[in-house]
Amino acid sequence: MNGSRLYRAALVCGAAPLLSGIGILLLWILTRAEILEAAGLWCVLLGIGSVVVGILLLILWSQTLDAGFSYWKRQLAAIVLLLINFPAAAGTIALVWVLQHPLREVVLADATKEQTFTLSTDLKLPNALEIRAIGELDAPATLELDSAAWLSLTPGALDVRRSGDCYASSCQLRYVPQKVTRGRLRVEYRFK
């Protein structure tokens, strides 16, 4: 393989997984098809191999260069194209996780009265629930999840959270104030 073909092959090794990953991500955002999640995982795994091959091709290409010419700009461009795959893959994985596990919230209309909310998710098989209570109360209160105590809320400024097992796609969150006369409370939750 001559020098220019080695360089072009190295560029393809960087561009192919990057463009494939972006395409799979965009299709997944539009369709949320599970097969695309598997395709994305394979793209990441094969992309790692492709980047390694691309780096090896770039090394071979560098050895064919004339000593009297400077090719550092082309080398730098190829290295950047190859290595950009790693932060792109990490960002894609993070974005998919956030889109699959959205943070939702409920706001209590009146912190002095008992209230019940239905927490739900689109996940087919959730296995955990994280709840965070933020606000301020002048007396203790409790958050119950499906009639079991989940979080104890103390008087004063609040920012407390708890995570635990939850295998249902919906559950009842009940706010039980104990002599609260004033306050505000926002509850954020995320099924995982």
Are 119 and 129 in contact by the 8 Å Cβ rule? The answer is yes
Q: How far apart are CA 2 and CA 63, in angstroms?
A: 11
Per-residue pLDDT of the chain (192 residues; tens, 9 = 90+): 577 898 999 999 999 999 999 999 999 999 988 899 999 999 999 999 999 999 999 999 888 876 666 678 888 999 999 999 999 999 999 999 888 888 899 999 899 999 999 999 988 889 999 999 999 999 999 999 998 888 899 999 999 999 999 899 999 999 999 999 999 999 999 998
CA dihedral 25, 96, 35, 41 (to 10 degrees): 80
Q: Which fold has domain 104-191?
A: Jelly Rolls (2.60.120)
pLDDT of residue 149: 87
Q: How far apart are CA 14 and CA 188, in angstroms?
A: 40
Domains in the chain: boundaries: 3-100, 104-191
Q: How far apart are CA 190 and CA 97, in angstroms?
A: 12
* Closest C-alpha among 63, 58, 73, 62 to residue 13: 58
Phi/psi at 101 (5° precision): -125, 70
* Closest C-alpha among 124, 146, 134 to residue 192: 124
pLDDT of residue 67: 65
